[in-house]
């Protein structure tokens, strides 16, 4: 079974072409492979399939390190686009990839940078899903030892955004673990801590559901900017800084799609014996 190891700003993946080879994964197999001591090590496994719709070029299935299938992965889908260009699976400059929750249009900026049209941010609590009655710019979540003020949005997957003064001093792992399983989030939640440098520049740390803290997260960057623009504390083009690099996010507001542009990195190709 052939695979490629790739990453977007340190958010790492293995990508497998299932169009040309037969594969079968269980949650246990994914957990084993994602383990950085016993397996390859990755945040998400991305499986490329033939499209189910003639207007779509490829379909992508996404699994977190704990083996759960998820709806969306912004950095991952940009790496999938780089993969299909690298492997000459397409000669189109602009491609469409479907995931479990949405269709994404991606374009090649240069050899490493990929731009993605991430669609419309979703603020409707029922569609996130988020168990509250009405949309508000900020929500208060009550925890055993904390009261959290946050914004909540879906970018194909659910995100909770918490504004902090300094991302270096946060209770990321403890709060992330508690909030991921909070009763208000029936499908769990990704948690981001956002520090505003200025209206065009933020820093971000992310605790991904089913993974833990990751080096970067594309949909979290989109979510943080969408929440910041909705709250009128950010401008329409924002540089989102992670420890390992940055993404450029652009959103003109309600009724307009959100765009994400950033680098992708190819690490190596490898192969595995078929796992039993």
Query: Structural domain of residue 173, as residue ranges?
Result: 139-255
Catalytic option among 60, 79, 217, 222: 217
Mean pLDDT (the chain) is: 94
Half-sphere exposure of 81 (CA within 13 A, CB side): 35
Q: Are residues 161 and 221 in the same domain?
A: yes
Judge whether 165 lies within some domain: yes
Q: Are residues 148 and 249 in the same domain?
A: yes
Residue 11 among known ligand-binding residues: yes
Judge whether 134 lies within some domain: no
User: In this model, does residue 231 exceed pLDDT 80?
Assistant: yes
Please indicate whether residue 60 is annotated as part of the active site: no
pLDDT at 276: 58
| Number of structural domains in the chain | 2
pTM (2 decimals)? 0.91
Residue 271 tokens read as 């192969």
Catalytic option among 60, 73, 79, 150: 73
Portion of the chain with pLDDT greater than 90, in percent = 87
Q: Are residues 100 and 192 in the same domain?
A: no
**With bands split at pLDDT 50, 70 and 90, how would you rate the model's confidence at 35?**
very high
Q: Are residues 107 and 143 in the same domain?
A: no
Q: Are residues 182 and 247 in the same domain?
A: yes
Portion of the chain with pLDDT greater than 70, in percent = 99
User: In this model, does residue 145 exceed pLDDT 90?
Assistant: no
pLDDT in tens, 167-226: 999 989 989 999 999 999 999 999 999 999 999 999 999 999 989 999 999 999 999 999
pLDDT at 152: 96
Residue 75 among known ligand-binding residues: yes
Residue 53 among known ligand-binding residues: no
pLDDT at 43: 95
Select from 53, 122, 115 the least CA-distant residue to 78. Answer: 115
User: In this model, does residue 275 exceed pLDDT 70?
Assistant: no
Strands 44-50 and 69-70, sheet pairing: unpaired
Judge whether 202 lies within some domain: yes
pLDDT at 196: 98
Residue 157 among known ligand-binding residues: yes
**With bands split at pLDDT 50, 70 and 90, how would you rate the model's confidence at 144?**
confident
Long-range contact pairs involving 171-176 (C-beta distance under 8 Å, separation at least 24): 171/146, 172/205, 172/207, 172/213, 173/207, 173/212, 173/213, 175/143, 175/146, 175/148, 175/207, 176/207, 176/212, 176/213
- What CATH number did the domain enclosing 203 receive? 3.10.310.10
Please indicate whether residue 217 is annotated as part of the active site: yes
């Amino acid at each position: 079974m052939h695979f490629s190891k790739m990453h977007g700003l340190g958010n790492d993946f293995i990508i497998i072409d299932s169009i040309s080879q037969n594969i079968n994964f269980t949650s246990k197999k994914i957990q084993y492979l994602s383990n950085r001591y016993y397996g390859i090590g990755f945040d998400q496994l991305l499986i490329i399939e033939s499209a189910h719709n003639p207007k779509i070029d490829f379909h992508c299935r996404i699994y977190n390190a704990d083996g759960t299938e998820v709806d969306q992965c912004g950095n991952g889908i940009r790496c999938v686009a780089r993969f299909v260009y690298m492997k000459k699976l397409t000669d189109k400059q602009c491609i469409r990839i479907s995931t479990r929750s949405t269709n994404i249009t991606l374009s090649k900026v240069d050899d490493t940078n990929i731009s993605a049209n991430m669609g419309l941010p979703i603020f409707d609590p029922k569609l996130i899903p988020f168990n509250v009655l009405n949309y508000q710019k900020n929500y208060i979540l009550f925890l055993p030892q904390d009261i959290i003020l946050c914004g909540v949005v879906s970018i194909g997957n659910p995100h909770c955004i918490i504004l902090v003064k300094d991302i270096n001093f946060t209770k990321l792992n403890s709060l992330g673990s508690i909030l991921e399983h909070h009763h208000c989030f029936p499908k769990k939640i990704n948690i981001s801590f956002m520090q505003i440098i200025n209206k065009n520049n933020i820093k971000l740390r992310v605790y991904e559901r089913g993974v833990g803290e990751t080096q970067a997260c594309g949909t979290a960057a989109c979510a943080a900017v969408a929440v910041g623009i909705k709250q009128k504390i950010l401008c329409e083009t924002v540089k989102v800084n992670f420890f390992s690099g940055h993404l450029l996010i652009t959103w003109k507001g309600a009724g307009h799609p959100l765009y994400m542009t950033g680098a992708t990195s190819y690490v190596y190709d490898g192969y595995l014996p078929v796992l039993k």
